[in-house]
A = this chain, B = another copy of it.
Amino acid sequence: MSHIMLIGFMGAGKSRVGAALAEKLGLDFVDLDRLIEQREGSPVTELFARGGESAFRDAEHAALQSLIAHTPAVVACGGGIIVRDENRALLRQLGRVVYLAVSAAEALARIGDTSGRPLLAGDSARLAPQILGARLSLYRAAADYIVDTGGRTPREVLDEVISLLQPDSPATTIRVSVGDGYDISVGSGLIRTVGDVVRSSVGERRVVIVSDTNVASLYAADVSESLASVGVESELVVIDAGESSKSWATAGAIVSELAGRRLGRDGAVVALGGGVVGDVAGFAAAVYVRGVPVIHVPTTLLAQVDSSIGGKTGVDLPSGKNLAGAFWQPAAVISDISVLATLPETEWVSGLAEVAKTALLAGEEQLAALEHAAPHLCSRDHVAVEEAVLMAARFKAGVVSGDERESGSRECLNLGHTLGHALERVAGYGSVPHGMAVAVGMRFAARIAEEVVGASSALTTRTDDLLDALGATDPIPVGIGAEALIDAMLDDKKTRGGVVRFVLVRQPGDWSVVPVEVTVLKRHLDALLHSE
């Protein structure tokens, strides 16, 4: 059987969208709560009243299991189906899982009367966000596709679900023209295509997959199977998750592991993970026997929109950050947006801040599209995410295609990073997430741009509103003063001759690099610090 399983919070529109979808696709429609009622011979409310939630969940699981023998159908599941671990496994087994996302407030507004909802008995306005919050990561983890229903008509939701369910909807590829050139593939479920991409980009090489303790358990088996399916033998090297692995020592350990697994010059490395894995495994690939190809499979939004593109690799030494590295262009980048569903919220917002940076640099069209998509991005709606990743990847691919070694136009990518880096450093690396620091830096740069390059105050407002809408709202932590930040900016490697160089945006798409006086920085920094 291969059903289409709709999951989501109450009021997400599972029944309505599900019925329409079934009709459109010519499939049966099953409302799981109705199926339970038929099988148990009593209404859901009565099941709850009689045996409590536990008895209901037993009945629900049994009903779900009965679908194994059912002809292909669209199934609207109850909101709590994902709470039980065995149900999530069963959902995957039953077919493709679509999560219809909705905020708690919009859900309540849609359903109106909550009297038939035993879980909301009492203060529904207080309970609904609590329940949704507890379930959110489970919905996302269970889903093959996420569709945000917020502010959308059922028809719009239906159209998006149908577009996502297209059989073999091909990945979009972006060409990067550096060296021999390479493709970035962006799409859903691409982790299962790694084998094909490796075969087509570097041929039939032995592969060592480098991943970290967080990501390996989730996706290494999929990657390895995908490689095996095209006859490519692979082994796995797992490093500790976290920033501390972005080190000279870990790079050396990876090189030793590659040698220990007897990877030859005719081998290749697949870097499966976030920015740290990409940086350290990319560097190890660059130097192992003076260089073997690397294929990046970035699993964080930040890595997909930024660090996996452009060939920069680098590691820290005890004496400083990013001291060693190499320009080593990947043979391919595979950005599977499905794997982003399980990212922790902080990392998600960090990635969105870089997306916002890119939109400001790219132009009005991209900025307006991102402003429009912002709420859907917060729900990790797959179409919105794919579009955002594509936009950012396209822009970065264009920039690095012209400027591999960061002498000219690549400098624009530092928008928001001058203060951002200083903030990360003063706060102590790791205590302020990179993207949040960049968001603060972008707000700051917008204010400087008003004064120095005549940007409009409207653009500052748009920058602030966009970052707010994307959830990048963390202020500069209490206790960090303007002096320390300015000292750190003056010390940054990008400063030349004691002047702080800023990337400033005059209008969307129109940026320049401008030296800014310390007194100007001080005044705006004070204002920013005191406004909070």
Given contacts A260-B319, A317-B256, A317-B259, contact A326 B265 (CB under 8 A): no
From A252, A265, A288, A291, name the one whose CB has the most chain B CB atoms within 10 angstroms: A252
Partner of A323, one of B248, B288, B314: B288
The answer, yes or no, to whether A119 is at the interface (CB within 8 Å) is no
Q: Are B319 and A256 in contact (CB-based, < 8 A)?
A: yes
The answer, yes or no, to whether A191 is at the interface (CB within 8 Å) is no
Q: Are A290 and B314 in contact (CB-based, < 8 A)?
A: yes
Residues of B within 8 A of A265 (CB): 493
Q: Are A290 and B317 in contact (CB-based, < 8 A)?
A: no
Residues facing B in A380-408 (CB within 8 A) are 405
Residues facing B in A233-279 (CB within 8 A) are 248-249, 252, 255-256, 258-260, 264-265
Range of interface residues on A (Cβ < 8 Å): 20 to 34
Residues of B within 8 A of A323 (CB): 255-256, 258-259, 288-289
Listed A/B pairs (14) with beta-carbon separation below 8 Å: A252-B317, A256-B318, A256-B320, A259-B317, A259-B323, A260-B319, A264-B493, A287-B287, A288-B324, A289-B325, A289-B493, A290-B312, A291-B326, A326-B326
From A265, A317, A323, name the one whose CB has the most chain B CB atoms within 10 angstroms: A323
> What is the interface of chain A mostly: helix, strand, loop, or mixed?
mixed
Distance between Cα atoms of A185 and B303 in the complex (Å): 45
Seed contacts A287-B326, A290-B325; 10 additional CB < 8 Å A-B pairs: A248-B248, A248-B252, A249-B252, A252-B317, A256-B323, A259-B320, A283-B287, A287-B325, A290-B314, A291-B327
Residues of B within 8 A of A325 (CB): 287, 289-290
Distance between Cα atoms of A259 and B325 in the complex (Å): 13
Distance between Cα atoms of A249 and B255 in the complex (Å): 13
Residues of B within 8 A of A314 (CB): 290
Distance between Cα atoms of A314 and B290 in the complex (Å): 7
